[in-house]
Amino acid sequence: MLAYIFRRVLYAIPILIGVNLITFALFFIVNTPDDMARMHLGVKRVTPEAIEKWKQERGYDRPLFFATQQDGLSKITQTIFFEKSVKLFAFDFGPAEDRRDIGEEIRARMGPSLALAIPVFLVGLAVNITFALLMAFFRATYLDFWGVVLCVAMMSISTLFYIIGGQYVAAKLWNLVPISGYDGGLDAGRFVILPVLIGVVSGIGSGSRWYRTIFLEEMGRDYVRTARAKGLAESVVLFRHVLKNAMIPILTGAVVVIPLLFMGSLLTESFFGIPGLGSYTIDAIQAQDFAVVRSMVFIGSVLYIVGLLLTDLSYTVVDPRIRFD
């Protein structure tokens, strides 16, 4: 197992270098360092000297990938790519273009993102599985039919509609919760109730349909017939046998997103004024803050790789036949 994990970590290094390279190339195809300087210095009274100074200070006056003027290894090391990328592997993100420390920002914003994302994930998973099992239990009945119709209808509605509609009804019309905002500690609860509810409800349609398909496939298998033939109650068949055997596809979809919960939700955080990592990324893209974009993409890649690894490892837990040795 350890050898497997070690091997996977080694595989991750070229992937991360590749992701870094692509992020870097894409960002600098769209923006030149001059563009970034202008964006940060504003539009009024920006002189060429100020732009040069800005670039010098942040190391953007160097060549992108290859420094022809330098000798030896410096041809590689004295470039923007090397300077900006290598430190990422030590999780040293440095300052954003507005000079605020990125590591400090990420630490501060991780909490609000998780306060929203974890309940949405856990409650959503529980609700979707339960709803899907019910539909599978009542398969080929009017309950299953209307359940699927409801799922399709819910899938067809934009997340934005759920958010604005939810805010209008729960916070504006019924005055039950604050429309937006965030506070630390236990007070965070009353701010995340509504976005969590909306996150769960908006995910029911697609989630439940997906799990229903998995369960129906499992229910056609021989072991289910055997269990029924033994006289087991249908609820026992579903929850003890079908659910257990459906765990592999469920885990494939669910575990991989667990690390990505750190990255936050772009839309929900913006509308509910939650100062998480999702809104941090959006702000950085809008402000052409390469330092933050590059850091967030890097963290996203690392977390995704961790997610895939965790998914593989989780298979061994639910299916004893799987071994990595």
Positions touching another protein (CB under 8 A) are: 30-32, 35, 38-42, 44-50, 53-54, 57, 95, 98-101, 103-105, 108-109, 134, 137-138, 141, 143, 164, 167-168, 170-183, 187, 189-191, 193, 233-235, 270-273, 275, 279-280, 283, 287
Nearer to another protein, 31 or 206 (CB): 31
Compute the distance between CA of residue 78 and CA of residue 62 in angstroms, rounded to an integer.
Answer: 7
Nearer to another protein, 105 or 218 (CB): 105
Smallest gap, in angstroms, from Cβ of residue 180 to another protein? 4
3-state secondary structure (DSSP) of residue 101: strand
d(CA 311, CA 18): 22
DSSP conformational letter for 238: I
SS3 letters across 21-51: HHHHHHHHHHCCHHHHHHHHHCCCCCCHHHH
- Residue (8 or 40) nearer to another protein, CB: 40
Query: What is the CA 79 to chain-centroid distance, rounded?
Result: 31
Task: Specify the residue, 31 or 316, whose C-beta has the smaller distance to another protein.
Answer: 31
Residue 4 CB, nearest distance to another protein (Å)? 37
* CB contact set of 309 (below 8 Å; sequence gap of 6+): 5, 8
Least Å from the CB of residue 173 to another protein: 7
Least Cβ distance, residue 39 to another protein (angstroms): 7
Residue whose CB is less far from another protein, 19 or 237: 237
Where do the DSSP E strands lie in the chain? none
Three-state DSSP at 139 gives coil
Least Å distance between CB 296 and another protein?
14
